[in-house]
Structure 1
Amino acid sequence: MICPHCNTNLLRKERSGRRCSKCRREFALEPKESPFGLHDIRIRTLAERLGDGRDLRYTLTQLWYAAGRKRIPDLYRVFRRVRIGISVAIVVITFFTAVSGVLPAAPVIGAAVVAMVLAHVALRAARPQFERAATIRMPVPYNTFRKELIGRWTPIYGGLPPGAVDEGKVRLPVVDRPRFAVLCQDRGVLACLAVNNVPHTWDMALSDRIEQLPPAVPVLVLHDANPPGIVLAGQARAALGTRAVAVGLRPRAVSTNESALRLREPRPTEADAALLRREPLSADEIEWLADGWWSPLAAIAPAKLLAVLARAVERVEETADPEHSRARQVGFLTWPTG
């Protein structure tokens, strides 16, 4: 690890007690102990990336997703490790049994080969069921990450990482005469928009409830690519009519996008699946959601989130002409990739 204060490359024994043995200054995170194996320089790098060179603000949840996205388990790799583990176990048992001389070596090796083949056949047969039942979640819970970061970073540096905000402490501003509104169930996403001056930039009200939205203004509906998010978009269209413009994450925008963060929960209930079939989704999108996959809006970096919002505002303004009012019903906008 490189010391964040003097840039010395430190071995584990040279940084005991989270203190550099060269400059004697204390640092916040020990990669051998911290969530996601983080260290101070890594946090600063993530902060710069989330700030996009424009001093954009970001939430701790966005930092959590950015820090952990490369450590999210891959189903294929997990299954492969299980297969390798079983193979290694068979080889080790065979070796020690043959060496011990308890049984003749030839029958032991033969039995091992048969066991290996049967194990691989069984694993191949079980793989579809394994993939259907497996969940993919962030490897470190958010509360653990938040507690470690705040508990260690703040005492050392006197505050959160550069640009970070604790979304739980952000109050959504009141906009007197809004021209637009955002509806989003994720208060953390609304907090990100608030601290990046979205309400003042576009005279935009922020709300997590349909009944609290201002009247007679276009409403941009931001949501996760998951059943609750898709249902929210449908409810907004039903309640608001052509005022509702869905600009949230659509399954097809993330299911094949390698840069998107994809997680997986147990399959939704049949009732939830029935609700999905009422929405303007393709068969592939419904199948993807019904298989438990989802993608969180909060994992989107502030720059991309603001870019999508800017495009939505521009599109709404361009369609203000009555001849183009139908364009407000276009639904989901295409999210930027990369």
Structure 2
Amino acid sequence: MICPHCDASLLRKERPHNVCSKCRRRYALDPKTNPLGLHDLRVRRVVAKITDDGRLPCTPGHLWYALSRRSLRSRPVGGAYVAVTLLGAALLTGGFFAGPAPLAYFGFVLALLALVLCLLAAADRSQGRPKMLPGAFRRDVLEPWVKVYGELPPGVVEDRRYPAPGGASGAGQATTLLCPDLSVATLIAAAGLPERHGLLLVRDLPEVSARGPVIVLHDVSAPGLLLPWRVREALPGRRVIDAGVPLRAVRGVPNAVPYRDHQPGGAVLSRLAEVGDYTSDELAWLRKGWTYPLVAVPPGRLLDAVSRVAERVGRTASADRGRAAAVGFLTWPDEGAP
């Protein structure tokens, strides 16, 4: 491992208790003891990449996904298993036709064992499961980092500081942005999008403004894909804009790496089936708990996408207000006025 302070190359015995034996300075993460194999230099490189060298904010959620992404990829069946299967088949064939019977028996057992191992590897239930969940990431990565360096990596915004819904950043605005993901809501608030576009940023349906359009930002999961429909049912007559990640934009796309979360309930899947927008294969994929989170979208791309939707909704709302003013609709009293 390379010391993040003096750049010395250290063997495991040369860095006891996360202290460099060359410069005697403590570092936060050791790849031999961290479940994700992390070290301080890699964390800094990843933070620099997702924040565009500090020009954009990111949150612990974005950092968790970026550092977990490599381990989330489905693992192909090992080449060694395949080679052993072929060897066993060759021994079985040779022993059956030309060799002694024990050789054929041995080949049969070897081929059968390797085949079973191949099938178990292909059906591995741990595939797509995060090695470290967000809570453990905070405990085992962020807390040691803060203990050593006194703060989160530069550019990482603490998502525990998410502003209270309905606060000054968006109170009284005509358009609501509903985003259940804490990390993404924090990113949007930190980037100043509510003030720039006149948005009320909320995380739950009961917090949605009493009037105006609602932009729904969601992940690719069974509950996430159902959220816009839930909002439309709860707010009949309101304009609801689905600004979430489309399922077909990520499923089967090599660079889009989902992970497996809790399996959704039957009621959620039944409702999605009733919607009629998803094939049986897509519903089966969602039933297994596959999820593509919003934090998987790089912060720059996500903020650009939200800004474009907010600008489009704002232009439409302005045009509607202009048409209403021409016929005197804006002289109507507010709801609840005497």
TM-score range, shorter chain: 0.7 to 0.9
**Structure of higher RCO (CA pairs closer than 8 Å, 6+ residues apart):** 1
Residue of structure 1 equivalent to 2:182: 187
Taking a change above 3 Å as real, the CA distance of residues 266 and 201 of structure 1, as seen in their structure-2 partners, is: closer
Q: Secondary structure at the match of 1:224?
A: coil
Residue of structure 2 equivalent to 1:38: 38
Residue of structure 1 equivalent to 2:4: 4
Kindly indicate whether the alpha-carbon contact (under 8 Å) linking 2:54 and 2:154 is maintained by their aligned counterparts in 1: no
Paired residues in the alignment total 308
Q: Matched residues in 2 for 1:266 and 1:152: separation?
A: 28
Residue of structure 1 equivalent to 2:103: 109
Residue of structure 1 equivalent to 2:172: 177
TM-score, structure 1 normalization: 0.79
1:135-174 mapped onto 2 (5 Å cutoff):
136-172=128-164, 173-174=167-168
User: One-letter code of the match for 1:282?
Assistant: Y
Unaligned runs of 5+ in 1: 92-104, 326-338
1:130 corresponds to which of 105, 113, 123: 123
Kindly indicate whether the alpha-carbon contact (under 8 Å) linking 1:2 and 1:8 is maintained by their aligned counterparts in 2: yes
Larger displacement relative to structure 2 (240-249 or 312-321): 312-321
Kindly indicate whether the alpha-carbon contact (under 8 Å) linking 2:178 and 2:214 is maintained by their aligned counterparts in 1: yes
User: One-letter code of the match for 1:190?
Assistant: A
Residue of structure 2 equivalent to 1:48: 48
Which one has a bigger Cα radius of gyration? 2
2:217 pairs with 1:222: yes
Q: Matched residues in 2 for 1:67 and 1:273: separation?
A: 30
Kindly indicate whether the alpha-carbon contact (under 8 Å) linking 1:179 and 1:202 is maintained by their aligned counterparts in 2: no
Q: Secondary structure at the match of 2:123?
A: helix
Taking a change above 3 Å as real, the CA distance of residues 74 and 176 of structure 1, as seen in their structure-2 partners, is: closer
2:294 pairs with 1:301: no
Deviation at 1:222, TM superposition (A): 0.8
1:275 corresponds to which of 251, 271, 276: 271
1:318-337 mapped onto 2 (5 Å cutoff):
318-320=315-317, 321=319
2:200 pairs with 1:205: yes
User: One-letter code of the match for 2:17?
Assistant: G
RMSD: 3.3
Q: Matched residues in 1 for 2:84 and 2:160: separation?
A: 46
2:243 corresponds to which of 231, 242, 247: 247
Kindly indicate whether the alpha-carbon contact (under 8 Å) linking 2:197 and 2:311 is maintained by their aligned counterparts in 1: no
Taking a change above 3 Å as real, the CA distance of residues 62 and 225 of structure 1, as seen in their structure-2 partners, is: same
Taking a change above 3 Å as real, the CA distance of residues 84 and 44 of structure 1, as seen in their structure-2 partners, is: same
TM-score, structure 2 normalization: 0.79
Deviation at 1:294, TM superposition (A): 2.1
Taking a change above 3 Å as real, the CA distance of residues 222 and 39 of structure 1, as seen in their structure-2 partners, is: same
Q: Secondary structure at the match of 1:277?
A: helix
Q: Cα deviations across residues 88-141 of structure 1 (Å, max 9, x unaligned)?
A: 9x89xxxxxxxxxxxxx94443212112344466677x579937x665211112
Q: Cα deviations across residues 223-277 of structure 1 (Å, max 9, x unaligned)?
A: 1111111121101122334521011122111103222221235754543322112
Q: Matched residues in 1 for 2:24 and 2:115: separation?
A: 57
Identity of aligned residues (%): 32
Larger displacement relative to structure 2 (262-271 or 79-88): 79-88
Kindly indicate whether the alpha-carbon contact (under 8 Å) linking 1:14 and 1:20 is maintained by their aligned counterparts in 2: yes
Q: Matched residues in 2 for 1:134 and 1:28: separation?
A: 28
Deviation at 1:37, TM superposition (A): 0.7
Residue of structure 2 equivalent to 1:80: 78
